[in-house]
Chain A
């Protein structure tokens, strides 16, 4: 600390940009307790501000206020969700921990893959920025999650993006979707990361609140795992990558932690702008730093920028940190210290380097042409001291900024309308009048189902993503999971899936969250991988509404219970609250990502019937009940009510074991899980995958399970899958299913010649056939017919 901190420097001594504002020093703050501070504008509540004053024993300086306001925001501090999220750490068995190398709390969790390999993955949301500015919002969402992966010491090897938009025909969807998709592609493709999956959901509840979640996965050798902590007194603190600018100031506190309404000015300046080239260079540069063991601790700069990086690095280490803020390289020289601390400029990293490695560190920066500046060093004072030209503007205990933020026990209660909603079942509703019953009606219903926006071919979106780069993609959309090879010698690899049905979660948040996990788990197992770990992205409305808070609390409880039962730990994730506009909240949408492991990804099971597999037997695994509430068929008829399908995690586990063993032992050649749209959708998707049809009879299902043909085709009962296998494997396969007491029924054969899907059953007319050409046309034209026109309109504007 300087002795004469209250003295202003003379104009001659300082660069021009620093004379444009008065520096609010710690000494000044102590001397002027009555100064009004804009805490409310920065998103702090009155009691939170008073708490800061109590902690410091004086009013905060402008810079300190900036730091606390972003770090104590909902987005960074998890203040409303923390008390619930604890369950992910508590509902864990020793068995679940055995492969967990780094748990919740770091930038991303790390799971042991074996052979000295480890994998890290995480999902995050970039919902609000993507609504305000779709391209940059989505692009920087990819950028941010990828930096989380790098800061664990890993090489990023893939991304996925669960997306949710408003009604497909709403004009604003035409603004948001093309921008989001090209932003994800524009950024992810430029990083050389294959995009191997995700989801696309349209529902009017996401109007004005699109959900743009992004998952990234990275791999590393065990010895390369890096953590975000600043230890070793005298070690140097360095900021490197892009320069700091005025973009994204207050992104975490203002954008991500409040609801939108029309009364406030445009929030565009709070959205960051991405530079994927800078990030690509940063990836390579960081990997070279790790390989040469040149950094002691590393932290990416995401939400809350330098405030977050300095306070987290310092509080995770043993001591303190001393930083000179004027050393930060700026894009905009007029930024105030507070703005520099809050800026969310992209493509920046902060690292701790020992003095003897400084030269080698600088050489790596030089090789990759990356800018850097030494900001300060690690101290043993236990304080985070930030100076501006030698004057102290921040003097805090870093823990109070990074970890000791407010924690709220938000009140919650079951919504008054929940019982009525659950009582309004599909079967009892007017929507269930005149259900398809004849061959003709059932046939057209299948085609109509596959032309629903949520069932349609998503290749208009996914063809804008590079799925080949890296040469290790063994499976990607539209298969059940994305599969990436990690070790080229052995074929060791990972499978990933993300899932959530917000309609189920709306009907029953506890069950809905479990169903999201069940489907994601099932998808990973269907590809042949052993599920190992979970990352979640919990998208909800305002926590200040007790009914929304109930949805959140129930979902977390449901997910934590289900993770315990399936034996897969949550290794990290993200909470996105305030997803509501003008008082309308989204459906509770707990997106669940599951990571699985392959000893050899060459064993992965494709989702479609294969051309050379003519005559292979098709088996339905699992039992079908009358479960149409919340289903895709009910949505098609405009109904949402009742109770979601029953969860049976023991059945999911057994089904998973069957699919994994069948893949490992080479018994099956295709497998696809049953989810939205039930058996009808699964059969259609398996046929459309490679344009190879099938002949199927549903009589056996109707007889055994006591359901009619309509229910057999469209019910969304869980823990079911379809598999196709050579006749030579049938005996071995059915021996395995019956040994486990799991329902397996031969329902048909693959037909590579007919070019159609033929279904027979106990209904009027006896059988219907659907030409795959007709089905493909209906299924494939849904997105292009909406969004190609949007691009043509843009083109016309540009001329």
Chain B
């Protein structure tokens, strides 16, 4: 029961009583994180169990995957994600996300917006985000094409599926050098591409990318805001009914549940 005023990082609502609930997904809160409750809700609606992780705590408390949610960590006054990348929790995430040991699969990590910026600052993903080319914060429903459905977070999408999820950011213009862009394209590591107009000047219309192993995914738009009919982007069935973002969470949760049971 969510009868008390929820605190940030206080994800105490009862998880779904299902086989999937065994999948424990950590949601990190940095000072200045804003979408942590939304990410936790997305995990819960996807059937998993959200676990609050604190920036200053090195332990991941045995979670099976991690979400770095959106916000303005440490105010983003220096450069988006630049300080968060040095938080104790990031040391563990970086290590576990890069695990090559075959006995322990690499930790699935999803970085959303500020989380994506943190992942690039931590060098788990290449490139960087700069200010939108129109210099304004932009909030809108955004169409994306799923170009890689082989990652930990996109396995339940169909190839080239067009989805709609909200976009909202100030520093969302993805940039990388030509060699990096070519490598991302050649290796099929562009996971999401903007369609119906590039909202921020991102190179190659890139909205989200993955690492070589496919366990780390970062994207600028917000799948956690498209998980519940009535509170998401508009879709053909009505206002705010879009729930395409939920598939990122169900993808990782069902594969984790399948692996552990």
Chain A interface (Cβ < 8 Å from any Cβ of B): 116, 154-155, 182, 185-186, 189-192, 219-221, 224, 275-278, 280-281, 284, 287-288, 290-291, 368-369, 462-474, 485, 487-489, 601-602, 606, 608, 610-612, 690, 788, 791, 794-795
**Across the interface, do A277 and B34 meet the contact criterion of CB distance under 8 Å?**
no
B72: which A residues are within 8 A, CB to CB?
Answer: 189-190, 276-277, 280
Nearest-neighbour CB distance to chain A for B14, whole angstroms, equals 10
**Across the interface, do A465 and B34 meet the contact criterion of CB distance under 8 Å?**
no
Judged by a CB distance under 8 angstroms, whether B37 is at the interface is yes
Judged by a CB distance under 8 angstroms, whether B238 is at the interface is yes
**Across the interface, do A690 and B32 meet the contact criterion of CB distance under 8 Å?**
no
The residues in B between 49 and 92 inclusive whose CB is less than 8 angstroms from any CB of A are: 71-72, 74-77
**Across the interface, do A464 and B136 meet the contact criterion of CB distance under 8 Å?**
yes
A608: which B residues are within 8 A, CB to CB?
Answer: 239
Q: Enumerate the 6 nearest inter-chain pairs by beta-carbon distance, A residue then B residue, closest first.
A: A277-B75, A192-B34, A468-B225, A471-B38, A464-B137, A606-B239
Q: Given that A284-B8, A602-B230 are known contacts, is A469 also in contact with B137, CB under 8 Å in the complex? A: no
Judged by a CB distance under 8 angstroms, whether B237 is at the interface is yes
A-B contact list, 24 entries, CB within 8 Å: A155-B5, A219-B5, A221-B4, A290-B5, A291-B4, A462-B139, A463-B139, A464-B136, A464-B138, A468-B139, A468-B231, A469-B34, A469-B35, A469-B225, A470-B37, A471-B227, A472-B231, A473-B231, A474-B240, A488-B2, A489-B1, A489-B3, A606-B239, A612-B238
Chain B contact residues: helix, strand, loop or mixed: loop
**Across the interface, do B6 and A192 meet the contact criterion of CB distance under 8 Å?**
no
A466: which B residues are within 8 A, CB to CB?
Answer: 137, 139, 168
**Across the interface, do B6 and A369 meet the contact criterion of CB distance under 8 Å?**
no
**Across the interface, do A275 and B75 meet the contact criterion of CB distance under 8 Å?**
yes
Q: Given that A155-B6, A277-B31, A468-B222 are known contacts, is A474 also in contact with B231, CB under 8 Å in the complex? A: yes
What CA separation (Å) do A291 and B5 show in the bound complex? 8
Judged by a CB distance under 8 angstroms, whether B244 is at the interface is no
Q: Given that A224-B5, A487-B2, A602-B230 are known contacts, is A182 also in contact with B137, CB under 8 Å in the complex? A: yes
> Closest A-chain residue to B1, C-beta based?
A489
Chain B interface (Cβ < 8 Å from any Cβ of A): 1-8, 13, 31-32, 34-35, 37-38, 41, 71-72, 74-77, 134-140, 166, 168, 170, 222, 224-225, 227-228, 230-231, 234, 236-240
**Across the interface, do B7 and A288 meet the contact criterion of CB distance under 8 Å?**
yes
**Across the interface, do B137 and A189 meet the contact criterion of CB distance under 8 Å?**
yes
B138: which A residues are within 8 A, CB to CB?
Answer: 463-464
CB within 8 A of A471: which of B1, B3, B7, B231?
B231
B236: which A residues are within 8 A, CB to CB?
Answer: 611-612
Q: Given that A220-B5, A284-B7 are known contacts, is A277 also in contact with B238, CB under 8 Å in the complex? A: no
**Across the interface, do A186 and B137 meet the contact criterion of CB distance under 8 Å?**
yes
**Across the interface, do A281 and B32 meet the contact criterion of CB distance under 8 Å?**
yes
Q: Which among B13, B139, B236, B237 has the greatest number of chain A C-beta atoms within 10 A?
A: B139
**Across the interface, do A287 and B5 meet the contact criterion of CB distance under 8 Å?**
yes
**Across the interface, do A471 and B31 meet the contact criterion of CB distance under 8 Å?**
no
What CA separation (Å) do A469 and B3 show in the bound complex? 20
**Across the interface, do B224 and A471 meet the contact criterion of CB distance under 8 Å?**
yes
What CA separation (Å) do A191 and B236 show in the bound complex? 31
Q: Given that A277-B77, A470-B37, A794-B135 are known contacts, is A368 also in contact with B31, CB under 8 Å in the complex? A: yes
What CA separation (Å) do A185 and B139 show in the bound complex? 10
B168: which A residues are within 8 A, CB to CB?
Answer: 189, 466, 468-469
Nearest-neighbour CB distance to chain B for A285, whole angstroms, equals 10
Nearest-neighbour CB distance to chain B for A77, whole angstroms, equals 33
What CA separation (Å) do A278 and B170 show in the bound complex? 19
CB within 8 A of A690: which of B34, B35, B234?
B234
Q: Which among B76, B138, B168 has the greatest number of chain A C-beta atoms within 10 A?
A: B168
Known: A464-B136, A472-B231, A791-B136. 12 other contacts (CB 8 A): A192-B34, A280-B31, A280-B32, A466-B168, A469-B168, A470-B38, A487-B2, A487-B3, A489-B2, A489-B3, A606-B238, A794-B135
Q: Given that A182-B136, A469-B38, A690-B239 are known contacts, is A474 also in contact with B32, CB under 8 Å in the complex? A: no
Nearest-neighbour CB distance to chain B for A91, whole angstroms, equals 33
B31: which A residues are within 8 A, CB to CB?
Answer: 277, 280-281, 368-369
What CA separation (Å) do A258 and B13 show in the bound complex? 51
**Across the interface, do B35 and A192 meet the contact criterion of CB distance under 8 Å?**
yes
B139: which A residues are within 8 A, CB to CB?
Answer: 462-468
What CA separation (Å) do A284 and B9 show in the bound complex? 10
B166: which A residues are within 8 A, CB to CB?
Answer: 468
> Closest B-chain residue to A185, C-beta based?
B137
B225: which A residues are within 8 A, CB to CB?
Answer: 468-469, 471
What CA separation (Å) do A369 and B37 show in the bound complex? 21
> Closest B-chain residue to A287, C-beta based?
B7
A224: which B residues are within 8 A, CB to CB?
Answer: 5
A489: which B residues are within 8 A, CB to CB?
Answer: 1-3
Nearest-neighbour CB distance to chain A for B17, whole angstroms, equals 16
What CA separation (Å) do A76 and B216 show in the bound complex? 53
B4: which A residues are within 8 A, CB to CB?
Answer: 221, 291
What CA separation (Å) do A155 and B34 show in the bound complex? 13
> Closest B-chain residue to A223, C-beta based?
B4
> Closest A-chain residue to B33, C-beta based?
A192
Q: Which among B2, B140, B224, B231 has the greatest number of chain A C-beta atoms within 10 A?
A: B231
A278: which B residues are within 8 A, CB to CB?
Answer: 75
Q: Given that A291-B5, A489-B1 are known contacts, is A463 also in contact with B239, CB under 8 Å in the complex? A: no
What CA separation (Å) do A470 and B69 show in the bound complex? 12
B6: which A residues are within 8 A, CB to CB?
Answer: 155
> Closest B-chain residue to A491, C-beta based?
B230
A470: which B residues are within 8 A, CB to CB?
Answer: 37-38
**Across the interface, do B239 and A610 meet the contact criterion of CB distance under 8 Å?**
yes
**Across the interface, do B137 and A471 meet the contact criterion of CB distance under 8 Å?**
no
What CA separation (Å) do A606 and B1 show in the bound complex? 29
> Closest B-chain residue to A476, C-beta based?
B240
A192: which B residues are within 8 A, CB to CB?
Answer: 34-35, 71
What CA separation (Å) do A462 and B231 show in the bound complex? 17
What CA separation (Å) do A610 and B140 show in the bound complex? 19
> Closest A-chain residue to B9, C-beta based?
A284
**Across the interface, do A277 and B74 meet the contact criterion of CB distance under 8 Å?**
yes
Nearest-neighbour CB distance to chain A for B167, whole angstroms, equals 10
**Across the interface, do A276 and B75 meet the contact criterion of CB distance under 8 Å?**
yes
**Across the interface, do A280 and B135 meet the contact criterion of CB distance under 8 Å?**
no
A220: which B residues are within 8 A, CB to CB?
Answer: 5
> Closest B-chain residue to A488, C-beta based?
B2
Q: Given that A280-B32, A470-B37, A791-B136 are known contacts, is A116 also in contact with B239, CB under 8 Å in the complex? A: no
Nearest-neighbour CB distance to chain B for A111, whole angstroms, equals 16
Q: Which among A276, A471, A488 has the greatest number of chain B C-beta atoms within 10 A?
A: A471
Nearest-neighbour CB distance to chain B for A277, whole angstroms, equals 3
B228: which A residues are within 8 A, CB to CB?
Answer: 471
> Closest B-chain residue to A794, C-beta based?
B135
What CA separation (Å) do A290 and B5 show in the bound complex? 10
> Closest A-chain residue to B237, C-beta based?
A612
> Closest B-chain residue to A280, C-beta based?
B32
B240: which A residues are within 8 A, CB to CB?
Answer: 474
CB within 8 A of B5: which of A185, A221, A280, A463?
A221
What CA separation (Å) do A475 and B72 show in the bound complex? 25
> Closest A-chain residue to B73, C-beta based?
A277
A791: which B residues are within 8 A, CB to CB?
Answer: 134-136
B7: which A residues are within 8 A, CB to CB?
Answer: 284, 287-288, 291
Nearest-neighbour CB distance to chain B for A725, whole angstroms, equals 15
What CA separation (Å) do A287 and B7 show in the bound complex? 7
**Across the interface, do A190 and B32 meet the contact criterion of CB distance under 8 Å?**
yes
What CA separation (Å) do A278 and B77 show in the bound complex? 11
